[in-house]
């Protein structure tokens, strides 16, 4: 059963993606452009965004943006609405990751993770929600991670930000779905990106960014609230959440070797 209105026909649709200069965000942007969508791309790396404009012309708007700047996020959305008259989907994809163990904890590094991963979404939400309520249409996608399902070694603070995003998306759905606004929660497993290249351990069921983009578009097309993948991995993680902590901790330690 679909919890959201399925999003299938992309020709002419207006999409804004943050974190679009590389990784999953860039792959989703490319996939949507291939299907005829108009895509506004944001990230701190302006040259990567301009390369996308060079390839796709006026179907792309490049909006360099630091998601930790709330005023800049508001201004970016205003530029999109001025150009296209509205917005159909916003995908909050910007994020960062720094592997850490408890004995390596650094409060400054922790705050940077929170600022980008969590506050970066919170900064963009108010103008997006206001615009979609005014339109009485639209959809919001939040890219979290299976690291938000439960505590995992090396995911200190990173996992906490992703858990917060999961809770945020659930609550947004309760508030916005009755008002005709879709909310999608995207929980990838291990996807090969510059961020996961930092990991020093075996990453089971590792997939590429293009496969991740296909999974996201397939989930949007089905109207799923939670889009999690690859399922051969994420289903096991969901099963772990049903176990008592004694078993959960033992199996995580055995599975990760950490």
Which residues are tagged catalytic? 158
d(CA 15, CA 3): 20
Question: Which element (helix H / strand E) includes 133?
Answer: helix 120-135
Q: With beta carbons less than 8 A apart as the criterion, state whether 143 and 122 touch.
A: no
What the block records as the tokens of 224 is 């799923």
CB neighbours of 237 closer than 8 A, spacing ≥ 6? 146, 149, 150, 189
Q: With beta carbons less than 8 A apart as the criterion, state whether 134 and 85 touch.
A: no
Using CB atoms within 10 A of its CB, is residue 9 exposed (0-12), middle (13-18) or buried (19+)? exposed
């Amino acid at each position: 059963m679909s919890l959201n209105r399925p999003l299938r026909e992309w020709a002419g649709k207006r999409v804004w993606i943050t974190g679009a200069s590389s990784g999953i965000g860039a792959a989703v942007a490319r996939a949507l452009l291939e299907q005829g969508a108009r895509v506004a791309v944001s990230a701190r790396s302006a040259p990567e965004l301009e390369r996308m404009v060079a390839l796709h012309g006026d179907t792309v708007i490049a909006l360099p943006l630091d998601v930790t700047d709330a005023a800049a996020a508001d201004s970016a959305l205003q530029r999109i609405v001025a150009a296209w008259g509205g917005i159909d989907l916003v995908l909050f994809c910007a994020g960062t990751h720094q592997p850490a163990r408890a004995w390596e904890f650094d409060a400054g590094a922790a705050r940077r993770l929170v600022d980008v991963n969590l506050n970066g979404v919170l900064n963009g939400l108010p103008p997006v929600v206001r615009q979609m309520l005014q339109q009485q249409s639209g959809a919001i996608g939040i890219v979290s991670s299976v690291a938000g399902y439960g505590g995992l070694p090396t995911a200190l603070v990173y996992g906490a930000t992703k858990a917060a995003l999961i809770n945020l998306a659930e609550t947004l759905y309760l508030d916005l779905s009755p008002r005709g606004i879709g909310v999608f929660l995207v929980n990838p497993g291990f996807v090969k990106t510059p961020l996961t290249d930092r990991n020093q351990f075996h990453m089971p069921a590792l997939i590429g960014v293009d496969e991740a983009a296909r999974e996201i578009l397939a989930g949007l097309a089905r109207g799923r609230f939670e889009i999690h993948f690859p399922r051969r991995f994420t289903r096991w993680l969901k099963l772990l959440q049903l176990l008592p902590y004694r078993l959960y901790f033992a199996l995580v330690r055995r599975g990760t070797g950490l």
